[in-house]
Amino acid sequence: MSKMNIVLLEPEIPANTGNIGRTCVATGTRLHLIEPLGFRLGQKELKRAGMDYWQDLDVTRYMNWEDFLEKNPGAKIYMATTKSKTNYTDVKYEEDCFIMFGKESAGIPEEILVKNQKNCVRIPMNHDIRSLNLSNSVAIVLYEALRQNGFSDMEKQGNLHRLSWSE
């Protein structure tokens, strides 16, 4: 079974990473954290946002960008950035691709983006907005990638239980 991969390059805010971790558990997605992190993994804000799901998270840490590349040779990496001309809905995501997001204060460094322009994607938004919240951005792009792949191995239906008005 293939899995999607979310990559966070030097995340700074523990609550965002906790929320992203919870989204990853809910979708069967791997989380890759590239150091330095702006927090400790045991920090209470991280655990609060990730709730009790953090223990079920498939997470890997890397010392730096080079370490990540070395341990994931040939990985197809899409890079989310406000600097891209390509919308996130305009690409076809492979089942096991990596979708990378930069740190909250600065995004992905320009030198990385320049070398990977053809794999950069953006979320459309009003021109006077700098960026969306990191955990929201991850959810938007990840769910598009999952949708394109038929939400493989995910529960796709719920059940409503009809209640009478007197109940």
What is the distance between the alpha carbons of residues 53 and 79, in angstroms, rounded to a whole number?
26
Structure tokens at 152: 């493989």
Contact 57, 18 (CB under 8 A): no
The token pair at 94 is 């492979």
Q: Is 131 labeled as ligand-binding?
A: yes
The answer to the question of whether 135 is labelled as a binding residue is no
The whole-angstrom separation of Cα 19 and Cα 139 is 9
Whether 125 and 32 have beta carbons less than 8 Å apart is answered as no
Cα dihedral: 133, 139, 145, 150 (round 10): -160
Residue 166, annotated as binding a ligand:
no
Inter-residue contact 7 to 98 (CB < 8 Å): yes
List, as residue ranges, the binding site: 102, 123, 131
List, as residue ranges, the binding site for S-adenosyl-L-methionine: 102, 123, 131
